[in-house]
Amino acid sequence: MAYIYNLKEEKKREAADEAVFPCVLQIVPEYVVHNKNSIVLGVDVLEGIAKIVGCNHEEQQKMFGRHFDVEDELVSHISRRSIDVLKAYYRDDLSRDEWKLVVKLNLFKIQ
């Protein structure tokens, strides 16, 4: 029994890079800090799970004030692959409401 559990946990860790958890964030205006090349945002989690695992250096950088503002909600980038990983390895870790959010983000093609 322990061997199977450890095997599942190992596969889960290997797939963690591809798992994108559903999340909707609201920017807190008082906690926006600009630096020359970076920005730090304070946020409230409106729905889902906020897990930070790294930075996406491949995507073109977005500029605060030009591409998004304090009134905008930030959402997870949900892809078909990330949904498959969530189903395979994190099915029991997500609540019913979080699965509904996955469907909502996928239905509206929010990517």
Over residues 6-15, the pLDDT tens digits come to 888 888 888 8
Supply the pLDDT for residue 79. 86
Q: What is the rounded distance in angstroms from the CA atom of residue 92 to the CA atom of residue 59?
A: 30
Radius of gyration of the chain (CA): 16
Q: What is the rounded distance in angstroms from the CA atom of residue 53 to the CA atom of residue 39?
A: 17
Banded model confidence at residue 111, pLDDT cuts 50, 70, 90: very low
Phi, psi of 101 (to 5 degrees): -65, -40
Residues in the chain: 111
**Is the confidence at residue 64, as pLDDT, over 60?**
yes
Residues 17-57 have pLDDT tens digits of: 888 889 999 999 999 887 767 788 899 999 998 887 666 66
Which H or E element spans position 31?
strand 23-34
The answer to whether 24 touches 48, Cβ cutoff 8 Å, is yes
What's the number of domains the chain is made of?
1
Supply the pLDDT for residue 24. 93
- The CATH number assigned to the domain holding 42 equals 2.40.30.10
- Domain of residue 18 covers 2-107
